[in-house]
C-alpha cells in the first residue's frame, strides 16, 4: 500500500500497488527539492502547481511541486546526466485508481508513469500491423530507416541488429541487475568485465534467461532508438 493523491482535490488516501515495472535507462535527472536530492528517469512526471504533470527533464529551477500535505516544495537544482555505454536499472509501479504516489523524504507528488508494454512513439514514421498480431515500427536513426517488429505481447525482435561476431543469444542466470547480467553475458562470449563492445549493449530477452548483443542506438530510446519492455522486468516480477 502507498499514499496516493487525487490531483483535482489533493485528497490523499492509501492505495494498493498493482504492478512493479523495471527498465533500463542511460539518461537520469538529478533534482534537489527543498534540500533533498532525488534521482529520476528523464520522463518521470512530477506534479507542478497550476500546470499539472511535467516530465523530470522539463522541470526548471523554481518549479513549484507539492507534498503529501499540500505544501509547496521548490526545485532548487537540476543536473541532467547522460551515461556513456552503460545503463541503470530503474523502478516504478502501478498504483490502483489514482495512478499517483509520493517520492523521497519530502513526499513529492509524482505520477506512476506506466511503463508496461512500452512501445515506440517518438520519431516513428511508419507503423504496420501484421497478420500474426505483431507490429513493425520504422524510425530514422543516423539518417537511415530502421525497422523493429514487436510481438503481439509487446516484445521487440532486435536480432537483425545483433553484433555480427555474436549474432546468437547467450544464456545467463539473469538477475535484472545490469552489472551482473552484462558481466555474465560478456563472459559467455569470451570478454571480461561488464562493459559491452563499443556501440553495442546487452538486451535482456523476454524469456528471462537470454541476452543478445545489439546496436545501442537501436536499443536505447534516449539515443533515438526503440522504447521497449525488457526481460529484466519479468525476472524482477517473479
Sequence spans of domains, the chain: 2-111, 124-236
Contact between residue 83 and residue 27 where contact means Cβ atoms under 8 Å apart: yes
Give the span between the Cα atoms of 59 and 2, in whole angstroms. Answer: 25
DSSP secondary-structure letter at 221? G
Predicted confidence at residue 236, as pLDDT, reads 45
The arrangement of secondary structure in 2-111, i.e. its CATH architecture, is Beta Complex (2.170)
Q: How far apart are alpha carbons 134 and 147 in whole angstroms?
A: 13
How far CA 176 is from CA of 173, 222, 238, in Å, comes to 9, 20, 11
The reply to whether the predicted model has a pTM over 0.85 is no
Give the contacts of 13 (CB within 8 A, at least 6 positions apart).
3, 4, 6, 98
Of 65, 67, 70, nearest to 50 (Cα)? 65
Residue 40: CB atoms within 10 Å: 23
Q: For residue range 28-67, list pLDDT tens digits in order.
A: 899 999 999 999 888 889 999 888 889 898 999 999 999 9
Mean pLDDT in the chain? 86
Mean pLDDT for the stretch of residues 93-97: 78
Confidence tier at 131 by pLDDT (50, 70, 90): very high
Identify whether the C-beta of residue 227 lies closer than 8 Å to the C-beta of residue 23.
Answer: no
Amino acid at each position: 500500500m502507498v499514499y496516493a493523491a487525487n490531483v483535482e482535490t489533493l485528497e490523499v488516501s492509501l492505495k494498493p500497488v498493482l504492478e512493479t515495472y523495471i527498465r533500463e535507462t542511460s539518461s537520469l535527472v538529478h533534482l534537489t527539492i527543498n534540500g533533498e536530492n532525488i534521482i529520476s528517469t528523464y520522463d518521470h512526471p512530477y506534479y507542478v502547481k497550476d500546470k499539472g504533470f511535467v516530465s523530470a527533464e522539463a522541470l526548471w529551477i523554481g518549479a513549484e511541486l507539492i507534498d503529501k500535505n499540500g505544501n509547496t516544495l521548490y526545485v532548487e537544482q537540476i543536473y541532467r546526466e547522460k551515461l556513456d555505454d552503460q545503463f541503470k536499472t530503474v523502478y516504478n509501479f502501478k498504483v490502483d485508481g489514482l495512478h499517483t504516489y509520493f517520492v523521497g523524504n519530502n513526499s513529492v507528488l509524482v505520477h506512476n508513469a506506466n511503463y508496461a508494454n512500452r512501445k515506440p512513439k517518438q520519431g516513428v514514421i511508419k507503423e504496420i500491423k501484421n497478420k500474426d498480431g505483431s507490429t513493425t515500427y520504422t524510425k530514422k536513426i543516423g539518417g537511415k530507416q530502421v525497422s523493429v517488429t514487436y510481438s503481439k505481447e509487446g516484445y521487440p525482435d532486435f536480432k537483425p541488429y545483433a553484433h555480427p561476431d555474436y549474432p546468437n543469444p547467450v544464456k545467463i542466470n539473469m538477475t535484472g541487475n545490469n552489472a551482473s547480467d552484462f558481466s555474465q553475458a560478456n563472459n559467455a562470449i569470451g570478454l571480461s568485465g561488464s562493459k559491452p563492445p563499443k556501440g553495442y549493449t546487452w538486451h535482456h530477452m523476454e524469456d528471462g534467461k537470454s541476452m543478445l548483443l545489439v546496436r545501442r542506438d537501436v536499443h536505447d530510446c534516449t539515443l533515438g532508438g526503440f522504447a521497449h519492455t525488457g526481460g529484466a522486468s519479468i525476472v524482477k516480477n517473479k
